[in-house]
Structure 1
Amino acid sequence: MEKRLVTLEFTGDGFAIVRMRNGQNRLNSTFLGSLNQALDEVERNKECKALITTGEGKFYSNGIDLDWLMGQDGATVDRFSKTLENTLWRVMHFPLPTVAAINGHAFAGGAFLAMSHDYRVMRSDRGWISWNETHLKMRFGDMLLDLLSKKVLAMKSIREAVLFGKRVTAGEAKELFLVDAMTDISDLIPKAKQMAFEALGPNGIDRDMLQRMKQDLYVRPLGNKPFLPGTNVKASKL
């Protein structure tokens, strides 16, 4: 039986819970394909009120699968880069409230995925969020820099978690406004639901209007830096 990298559950109270279930949940073409299939199903379900993504065990997502990526030809790298970019923007512009329920480590590309959501709640006793590209001697492409500029507004947050790539705990992440709340692992999904319900308000929000407002607020930029210095991987691959 083929292992499902991403599973989708529709709950009786109107939520779509997308669970990433591939160990460290490293991002590659196959994994992103599974994630986008789940997002397709969520969008088709007109009864769904909000989207929650989460992982299992130690990891929310440990970022891009660099071991896989470095072994690919240029055309595959380009396709993956565009798929990753499109996926992050898709979540940024999703027509429902979105909450990342960060169950464990969220590094680099995994941190970007979490930040692309409307809200984030993080497990309080375990896990870090961090952009470790400085330590990997890799640069961000324009799209990722733009995402950071829209989602991480405090200079202290950029300095600690991005520039110096520190491993930020849940408590520190809340102080740095990287996450909105932290809680015990047993309460992670209920807390994510509560945040989404509060975002919807008593009367709900029109899907199309919510998506248009996100598109207006988070305008997708044009162009990308062409290459990462000293590697054969383009700058938008982190």
Structure 2
Amino acid sequence: MSTLFSVPIVSTDGFIVCTNPTAHKEQKQRNIYVLTITSPKDNRLTPTLIDALLLSLDIIEHYYPKGVIITTSGIAKFYSNGLDLEIAINTDGFLEKWMWPLFRRLLTYTMPTVCFLNGHAFAGGFILAMYHDYRVQNPEQGFLCLNELELGVPLQTPMMQIFREKLTPITFRNVVLEAHRFTGKDSLQAGIVDAVGGMDAVLRLIHERKLFDKAATGIYGTMKEDMYARVLESLDGHVKNLAWREKIEKKKDAMQRRGLQAAERWERESKAKL
């Protein structure tokens, strides 16, 4: 690998390093940019990490020839263990100012993006992977899991919408309502990832799908904007999403009150018959 630049993640003394595979002459000429994220201990999605990743994407777009982006982790066990909930809760506007802009940037990026899942991707880490164009998973190590159900943390609309858009209904159900842990083999079978293997499998996917030149005409991001219009609407409509959730909660509370009254009435009538 040939190092192109490095961006610090100051909160964890971590960094994102951009490298170019140089094992083969063709690969070097084809402008493949590998962004390796190392933010101990498990690449939690914090404002500083997100800022570093957004800056890295900006640097490549504006200072390097068009090509293909690969994101991966420098931490063997984890691609990303999701949000740091304490930081997210205590950071004003975390979703609107950091999470949604990152998701939007990746979803509409002007070059093909490939996520190499070298290890575990839980919760927000799994969601981040889904906002890439392609995914390759390590078949020997790591699970993909949306475990918010087990944590008791409801998913926001943009977190849910990307799975709805990219997965079959049955896989979508298994991801969200079962918090299923997908191995590389499981993920490939379910259509969550496009291939399994190591970095060689990532480079093979790029070569076989001829991703090198897809951004050359300048409309790659534009095509994705129309392709994922519903996801973008959810990302850009945070206030609307919250209003919808509030309306749903009010209806749910009213139904629960009616249900409780019906159950209590049944109990009284049952006792009266004894």
Give the TM-score, by structure 1 length. Answer: 0.84
1:162 matched to 2:176? The reply is yes
Alignment-mate amino acid for residue 69 of structure 2: L
Identity %: 27
Moved runs in structure 1, 4+ residues, more than 6 A?
A: none
Bigger RCO (CA 8 Å, 6+ sep): 1
Residue 199 of structure 1 and its aligned partner are, at CA, apart by 3.2
Alignment-mate amino acid for residue 199 of structure 2: I
Residue 45 of structure 1 and its aligned partner are, at CA, apart by 3.3
For residue 65 of structure 1, the aligned residue among 84, 89, 101 is 84
Q: How does 1:212-231 map to 2 (within 5 A)?
A: 212-219=222-229, 220-221=232-233, 222-224=236-238, 225-226=241-242
Alignment-mate amino acid for residue 208 of structure 1: G
Q: How does 1:39-78 map to 2 (within 5 A)?
A: 39-55=57-73, 56-70=75-89, 72=90, 76-78=91-93
Residue 203 of structure 1 and its aligned partner are, at CA, apart by 5.8
Aligned residues: 220
3-state SS of the aligned residue for 1:200?
Answer: coil
For residue 199 of structure 2, the aligned residue among 189, 194, 204 is 189
Q: How does 1:1-238 map to 2 (within 5 A)?
A: 3-11=13-21, 12-13=28-29, 14-22=31-39, 23-55=41-73, 56-70=75-89, 72=90, 76-152=91-167, 154-183=168-197, 188-200=198-210, 204-219=214-229, 220-221=232-233, 222-224=236-238, 225-226=241-242
Alignment-mate amino acid for residue 18 of structure 1: L
Which ranges in structure 1 are unaligned for 5 or more consecutive residues? 230-238
Which ranges in structure 2 are unaligned for 5 or more consecutive residues? 1-7, 22-27, 247-274
Larger Rg: 2
Check whether the contact 1:16–1:48 (CA below 8 A) recurs between aligned residues.
Answer: no
Give the structure 2 partner of residue 235 of structure 1: none
Give the structure 1 partner of residue 252 of structure 2: none
3-state SS of the aligned residue for 1:32?
Answer: helix
Q: 1:175 to 1:127 in 2, by over 3 A?
A: same
- What's the CA shift string for 1:47-78, capped at 9, x where partnerless? 241000001210000000113223x1xxx331
Check whether the contact 1:98–1:196 (CA below 8 A) recurs between aligned residues.
Answer: no
Check whether the contact 1:156–1:176 (CA below 8 A) recurs between aligned residues.
Answer: no
Residue 4 of structure 1 and its aligned partner are, at CA, apart by 3.4
Residue 204 of structure 1 and its aligned partner are, at CA, apart by 4.4
Check whether the contact 2:68–2:112 (CA below 8 A) recurs between aligned residues.
Answer: yes
Residue 5 of structure 1 and its aligned partner are, at CA, apart by 2.7
Check whether the contact 1:10–1:48 (CA below 8 A) recurs between aligned residues.
Answer: no
Residue 197 of structure 1 and its aligned partner are, at CA, apart by 2.9
Across the aligned residues of Structure 1 and Structure 2, the Cα RMSD in angstroms comes to: 2.2
Per mean C-alpha deviation after superposition, the further-off stretch among 76-85 and 28-37 is 76-85
Residue 207 of structure 1 and its aligned partner are, at CA, apart by 5.0
Per mean C-alpha deviation after superposition, the further-off stretch among 12-21 and 200-209 is 200-209
Check whether the contact 1:92–1:116 (CA below 8 A) recurs between aligned residues.
Answer: yes
